[in-house]
Structure formats: structure tokens, C-alpha cells
Amino acid sequence: MARISLRRAYDPPAPDEGRRILVDRLWPRGLSHQKLGEALWLREIAPSDALRHWFGHDPQKWPEFRRRYAAELDANPAPVEALRRIIDEGPVVLLYAAHDRDHNNAVALRDYLGTP
């Protein structure tokens, strides 16, 4: 499997970083579609609204969030398989809007896919 990196959607792209994929359910606040350029938006792979609201980016809830998000991904394999096919083609960058770089759905998704 190819390399997966993570980047805040608000950060400028790095040269040759790979295919950019937004993995949030909501479009990043204040960010134009032009600013993300050719990024693919896989909103269906993001945590459900209910899980997102429950988590609220509370680091205390991080282990349970990861477990619940993995269960959601297991129950909805089509977007996961679509993402795996893209990853097989080359490096990807999972984009997210959260301020917390350590406790967000992109980190949990990367770990779920088994690629640190």
C-alpha cells in the first residue's frame, strides 16, 4: 500500500505530496473550493453526524471515538474500498479541518487503514 500522509485542509499543499482527499463530512469553514484545487471530497467516509457531535474533538473520548468510527467504517465498506483503490495508485494526503492534529477523523482513518 502506498504512503498516506495527513494535512489540515487550510495548510498549503506540499510539492508532489500525492492525491489530496478531503475526508470530512462538512466542507471546511471559510475555505473556497478553488483553494483545495483538485482535491477529491470523500464525505461518505467521514464519521456520521451523530458520532462527530458526540466526539466534539474531546481527547478524553478519543479511544471510544476510534472504536465507534471503525465500527461505522466496517458497516459501510464501499467508501473504504474506493479509498483503498485510490491509495493503491500512489501516495495520498488525507485532508481534515480540525485544529487538533492528533485527535481527528483523518488520524483514525489512517490508522484504520493500517498505514501509520
**Domain hosting residue 21, numbered range:** 4-113
Domain count of the fold of the chain: 1
CA 35 to chain centre: 18
Q: What is the pLDDT of residues 7-63, one digit of tens each?
A: 999 998 888 888 999 999 999 999 988 888 889 999 999 999 999 999 999 999 999
Q: How far apart are CA 40 and CA 51, in angstroms?
A: 23
- pTM for the model: 0.92
Q: How many CA atoms lie within 13 A of 89 on its CB side?
A: 11
Name the band, by pLDDT with cuts 50, 70 and 90, for residue 3.
confident
